[in-house]
């Protein structure tokens, strides 16, 4: 059987891995060929043509800011940072820079028992504990309790949650510093009596309207 390598055929198992597969093997071969060009001017012109080809392969990305600079970085990465050409964007990228990784962001520590309330509730309770005792703190506590009740219902829609459960959890989460009276209704605390004010204003309008109609009718009788 004739050796396939002698007739110009290649098996994938014999090929080198693609550094950035989205550009394909031919682009990688062109960049590797650029490293073998001895004349620096010709090498520079050849790489710029390869950049143009890469840009034509993804025309929908032309509107992305600094897209051509990103292509240059990809060329250097595919060339394993062994390409001797002029870098047109200031400081030339290096292998060390590409291997840098951002610092890991730690996950917020939340008590597993109260995970369904979310981390934001923990932060709100911390702020409430910093507020001196008084109406402002009580109003903040009522808002937190209403949010906790909403979060609980969202977490478990099929399970009924009572005000006593929310008040107890709020007290435990705050270390006993934030409490709501046993007789207080959480939903009524957040309304702030706005409905009563609207009812009173509506009754005033009706009473004033009645007087005006009465006044006009009496005037007609006088005439």
What pLDDT digit, counting tens, does each position of 107-144 carry?
766 555 777 888 888 889 999 989 998 889 888 898 99
pLDDT of residue 192: 53
Is the CB of residue 51 less than 8 Å from the CB of residue 76? no
pLDDT of residue 219: 47
Instruction: Return the beta strands (E) in the chain as ranges.
Output: none
Q: How far apart are the C-alpha atoms of 28 and 16, rounded to whole Å?
A: 10
Mean pLDDT of the chain: 79
Alpha helices, DSSP H, located in 9-118: 24-34, 40-57, 67-78, 95-98
**Does position 6 have pLDDT exceeding 80, yes or no?**
no
Give the burial string for 120-157 (b: 16+ CB within 10 Å, else e): ebbebbeebeeeeeeeebbebbbebbbbbbebbeeeee
**Does position 215 have pLDDT exceeding 50, yes or no?**
no
pLDDT of residue 98: 78
Higher-confidence residue: 201 or 34?
A: 34
pTM above threshold 0.85:
no
């Amino acid at each position: 059987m004739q050796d396939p390598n002698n007739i110009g055929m290649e098996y994938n198992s014999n090929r080198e891995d693609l550094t950035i597969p989205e550009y394909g093997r031919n682009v990688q071969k062109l960049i590797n060929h650029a490293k073998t060009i001895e004349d620096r001017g010709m090498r520079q012109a050849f790489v710029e043509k390869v950049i143009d080809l890469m840009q034509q392969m993804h025309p929908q990305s032309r509107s992305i800011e600094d897209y051509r600079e990103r292509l240059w970085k990809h060329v250097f990465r595919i060339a394993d940072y062994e390409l001797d050409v002029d870098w047109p964007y200031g400081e030339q990228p290096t292998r060390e820079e590409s291997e840098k990784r951002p610092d890991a962001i730690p996950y917020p520590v939340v008590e597993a028992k109260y995970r369904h309330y979310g981390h934001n509730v923990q932060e709100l309770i911390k702020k409430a504990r910093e507020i001196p005792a008084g109406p402002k703190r009580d109003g903040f506590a009522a808002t937190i309790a209403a949010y906790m009740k909403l979060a609980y219902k969202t977490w478990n829609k099929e399970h009924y949650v009572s005000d006593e459960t929310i008040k107890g959890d709020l007290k435990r989460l705050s270390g006993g510093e934030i409490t709501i009276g046993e007789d207080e209704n959480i939903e009524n605390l957040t309304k702030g009596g706005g409905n009563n004010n609207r009812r009173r204003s509506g009754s005033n309008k009706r009473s004033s309207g009645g007087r005006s109609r009465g006044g006009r009718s009496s005037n007609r009788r006088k005439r």
